[in-house]
Amino acid sequence: GPHGVFAAADLGATSGRVMLGRVGSGRLGLTELHRFPNTPVPLPDGLRWDVLGLFGGILEGLRAAARSGGVDSVGVDSWAVDYGLLDADGALLGSPYHYRDRRTEGVAEAVRDRLGAAELYRVTGLQHLPFNTVFQLASAAGTAQLGAARTLLMIPDLMVHWLTGTVGAEETNASTTGLFDTRSGAWSEELAARLGLDPGLLPALRSPGDPAGGLLPRVAEFTGLPAGTPVTAVASHDTASAVVAVPATAPGAAYVSCGTWSLAGLELDAPVLTEESRAAGFTNERGIDGTVRYLRNIMGLWLLEECRRTWTARGVPAGLDGLLADAARAEPFASVVDPDAPEFLAPGDMPERIRAHCRRTGQPVPGSPGAVVRCVLESLALAHRRTLRRAGELAGREVRRIHLVGGGARNELLCRMTADAAGLPVVAGPVEATALGNVLVQARAAGLVGDLASMRALVARTQPLRHYVPQNDPAARAAWDAAAARVEPSPRNP
Ligand code: LRH
């Protein structure tokens, strides 16, 4: 059979893809087998993910993998926090909610206050985000659905369940739920109990690299891959997979995993659980090999994507290249926003929300799409600067270089602005960090690559990277400093 060939299914908030990774001595290559849209569905009682469509897309991708000669194993990652519930027969109860659904509004704050923000942080180490799994479950309290639920599966674990019939909870993604004890690396049954949740809902944990079963006969029949083809637990939280593939080879590295979200932070050996860190909104998610992803969620390119969706719906030209060219010519620092303002979270008319934010903060209101995009990109660059500086202070680390990975690495304007805003060099790429991290963890389980440092060295040697040097000119530096001072820290963004 094949050797050193792995299928990585990566589900993102706007699209899913199945990639074929080839790993050999000194080699790491990736090709796309199948890409499919991920379009949320607004049901009358909330915004849902089309998980059957996503599973169908994965099967289609695996069918292409079979045609290309087969694979050694399969791994699945996706966005975090969302889940499906299975009943006593193992059937999925309804369609999983989208984390941008508004049903947790108010509930999250109430639960946090009831359990105590400081206590929650000491146990879970998580940034308070209204959509953390724990708050979604609290919103479902008393529903027939939750009453009938026997098993909770995070989205990638649900896909693995449908591929293999096995049940498990991969730990990098479990660490985003708000029910995981970051100190012990186990589910917090105590927290579950205090929330009135049956701890039996939470499956046994798996670590990245653990076997997760083999393809079911029915899957084999549909895809053409042999039944029993191994499925490997990867770092199933997409951000954790992306961090695996950050091509950092020297100390002083920070990262921004930049796509729909900007996840900006540091890799640490131990969590930072201080009150200061909690107040600054930093999270301690689990990485592979016991590492901690010490980072903060920044609203990210969602702002731009949602603007483009709004313009397209109105017949306003919203091609990315054109918008970025217009933004590059637009007036610098006309207005800057806090990208993490809560009004930007839910889907909607983003250009108008940005204009309203500028109006409210007494700044010029951006008119043209180019001006709006300029405002979004400068605001994100400033958020990257602010977050990485604060991460360095709170963790007692010096940040000397920023690795910007994910789709955002294609956005030259954003990369350049991030370098200039932070006054640090930016290494951009790989764009497909998440899929590469997924492949590398499978390759390691197969004995083909070594430790984290050697995986990163392999990425650095084999993947195209772009280097951005910050402008040295004092006037340019001063302009970014002045812009930074204009963004008022919000309670969520101190
Ligand atoms: C990025 C991501 C992020 C989570 C969010 C829900 O795709 O996984 O790390 O906070 O989606």
ipTM value > 0.85: yes
Residue of 17, 54, 79 to test ligand 1 pocket, by largest number of atoms within 8 Å of CB: 79
- Report percent pLDDT > 90 for the chain: 98
Asked if pLDDT for residue 494 goes beyond 70, the answer is: no
Q: How many helices (H) and strands (E) does the chain have?
A: 19, 21
pLDDT, tens digit, 9 for 90 and up, residues 181-230: 999 999 999 999 999 999 999 999 999 999 999 999 999 999 999 999 99
Cα radius of gyration rounded to whole Å, the chain: 22
C-beta of 79 in contact with ligand 1 (< 6 A): yes
C-beta of 191 in contact with ligand 1 (< 6 A): no
C-beta of 49 in contact with ligand 1 (< 6 A): no
- Dihedral, CA of residue 63, residue 69, residue 70 and residue 76, to nearest 10: -60
* pLDDT band for position 492 (cuts 50, 70, 90): very low
Ligand 1: which residue has its CA nearest to atom 11? 79
Question: Rounded to a whole number, what is the distance in angstroms from the first to the last CA of the chain?
Answer: 54
C-beta of 238 in contact with ligand 1 (< 6 A): yes
Read off the pLDDT of each residue in 239-253 and give the average, rounded to a whole number.
97
Say what the pTM is.
0.97
Determine contact, residues 420/414, Cβ cutoff 8 Å.
Answer: no
Ligand 1 geometric centre to CA of 247 (Å): 20
C-beta of 262 in contact with ligand 1 (< 6 A): no
Residue 467: other Cβ atoms inside 10 A: 12
Ligand 1: which residue has its CA nearest to atom 9? 239
DSSP 312-347: HHTT----HHHHHHHHHHSPTTS----TT-GGGSSS
Q: CA dist 490 to 255, 281, 375, 478, Å?
A: 23, 11, 18, 23
* pLDDT band for position 25 (cuts 50, 70, 90): confident
Rounded distance, CA 139 to CA 19, Å?
A: 36
CA atoms within 13 A on the CB side of 46: 17
Summary mean pLDDT of the chain = 96
DSSP 446-463: TTSS-SHHHHHHHHHHHS
Rounded distance, CA 310 to CA 297, Å?
A: 23
Ligand 1 geometric centre to CA of 237 (Å): 8
User: Any idea which residues carry the catalytic annotation?
Assistant: 238
Determine contact, residues 180/124, Cβ cutoff 8 Å.
Answer: yes
pLDDT, tens digit, 9 for 90 and up, residues 396-411: 999 999 999 999 999 9
Residue 311 identity: W
> What pLDDT shows up at residue 488?
62
Asked if pLDDT for residue 159 goes beyond 70, the answer is: yes
